[in-house]
Amino acid sequence: MLIRSKRSWELPESMVTDEAVFFNRRKFLTGSMATAGAGLLAGCAPPVRAEVDPSADLYPVPNNPAYTAERAIAPESITAYYNNFYEFNSPYDFSFSKNIADEAQALPIRPWEIRIEGEVEEDFTIGIDDLLSKVSLEERIYRHRCVEAWSMVIPWSGFQMSELVKLARPRSSAKYVYMETFLNPDVAPGQTRKSYPWPYREAVTMEEATNELAFLVTGVYNKPMLKQYGAPLRLALPWKYGFKSIKSIVRFRFDSFEPKTFWHDTAPREYGFWANVNPDVPHRRWSQATERDIGTRERFPTKLFNGYGEQVAHLYADMGHLGKALYR
Ligand SMILES: Nc1nc2c(c(=O)[nH]1)N[C@H]1C(S)=C(S)[C@@H](COP(=O)(O)O)O[C@H]1N2
Ligand SMILES: [Mo]
């Protein structure tokens, strides 16, 4: 059983069926119902293809062996139905279900325009497919650690964020990169929830944005990512708590000041700007000392910087008392 706390009859079909079969069968049902109405014999309905991502031809991409994890990769049959994407929770869902896979399919991901602006030589807008033609895609196995004390090992595909920073041509006055998720309450019911400051917003310093680990994700399991992961473009910052890894990005703004962010505005005493993974600094309501892997269900001790200190510790070396500075 995938989820021990639930009975098997409570599992939604999507949790126990392979995701490809699940999506294809739903399309097939829609197709066969339509053709049955047209008087065709049942069973002779033409196969209806699931929505094909226009970037599908770019995959598979080469694996970068510099980024591996000693733990097992979590299967897609689990990670595709265990997503924090508050935009797709019903405004009446106060437990914030992680099974938002169905709801997320309502997000249109083409056309998808990305705005680059602020402290740059010149503001511009670029379509996702144009952007994809200008960068080199690769696969990296990363550990992901959510602030809620669960984690997963996940094979992202995408490109180093430093490539986007270069394309943006920032001025020397640029000190931060601010990012925004789409705003469309018609398809994302969670955005009608008035108690949250939509759209979802995040930010990193220029040093963080150009660190080798900062990765802009376009695919998972070496194919275009399903919408629930944050298609068509999301961030992966493996040394920070998961909420910094903003999904479905439409804007990059280069700022000279520290930008305001979604979680910091929502609960400033619980979610800081830095949000570096640190087992010694508890969340105000729970310990961060250990984490549960959603792939294996095993519990592991949490590591400082999620085990990526070699690549990022120098960024924070002169920030004073470690715990306080890192978890502001
Ligand atoms: N726009 C947006 N981005 C988001 C979130 C969200 O609710 N909305 N949740 C964050 C959190 S808390 C986590 S842990 C990761 C989850 O990514 P996953 O669904 O691929 O595991 O996305 C992050 N990015
Ligand atoms: Mo998270």
CB of residue 176 inside a 6 A radius of ligand 1: no
Residue minimizing CA distance to atom 7 of ligand 1: 85
- CA–CA separation, 162 and 208 (whole Å): 9
- If one residue of 73, 84, 193 were mutated to test the ligand 1 pocket, choosing by the most ligand atoms within 8 A of its CB, it would be 84
What's this model's pTM, rounded to 2 decimal places? 0.86
Residue minimizing CA distance to atom 18 of ligand 1: 83
The pLDDT score that the predictor gives to residue 79 is 98
Phi, psi at 292, each rounded to 5°: -110, 125
CB of residue 245 inside a 6 A radius of ligand 1: yes
Q: How far is the CA of 323 from the centre of ligand 1 (A)?
A: 24
Count, residues in the chain: 328
Q: How far is the CA of 235 from the centre of ligand 1 (A)?
A: 9
Written as tens digits, the pLDDT of the chain (328 aa) is 333 343 333 333 443 344 444 444 444 344 434 333 333 444 444 444 467 899 999 999 999 999 999 999 999 999 999 999 999 999 999 999 999 999 999 999 999 999 999 999 999 999 999 999 999 999 999 999 999 999 999 999 999 999 999 999 999 999 999 999 999 999 999 999 999 999 999 999 999 999 999 999 999 999 999 999 999 999 999 999 999 999 999 999 999 999 999 999 999 989 989 999 999 999 999 999 999 999 999 999 999 999 999 999 999 988 754 545 455 4
- CA–CA separation, 22 and 248 (whole Å): 23
Q: How far is the CA of 121 from the centre of ligand 1 (A)?
A: 31
State the closest ligand 1 atom to the C-alpha of 199, by its place in the atom list counted from 1.
1
100 alpha carbon, closest ligand? 1
Residue minimizing CA distance to atom 5 of ligand 1: 85
CB of residue 86 inside a 6 A radius of ligand 1: yes
Q: How far is the CA of 226 from the centre of ligand 1 (A)?
A: 13
Q: How far is the CA of 148 from the centre of ligand 2 (A)?
A: 6
Residue minimizing CA distance to atom 15 of ligand 1: 242
CB of residue 85 inside a 6 A radius of ligand 1: yes
- CA–CA separation, 188 and 190 (whole Å): 5
The pLDDT score that the predictor gives to residue 327 is 52
Q: How far is the CA of 149 from the centre of ligand 2 (A)?
A: 8
CB of residue 229 inside a 6 A radius of ligand 1: yes
Residue minimizing CA distance to atom 19 of ligand 1: 83
Going by C-beta distance under 8 Å and a sequence separation of 6 or more, which residues neighbour residue 98? 81, 82, 83, 84
Q: How far is the CA of 258 from the centre of ligand 1 (A)?
A: 21
* Distances from the Cα of 213 to the Cα of 47, 109, 143, 236, angstroms: 42, 26, 11, 8
Q: How far is the CA of 117 from the centre of ligand 2 (A)?
A: 27
Phi, psi at 167, each rounded to 5°: -60, -35
Per-residue b/e over 69-80, b at no fewer than 16 CB within 10 Å?
A: bebeebbbbbbb
Residue minimizing CA distance to atom 8 of ligand 1: 85
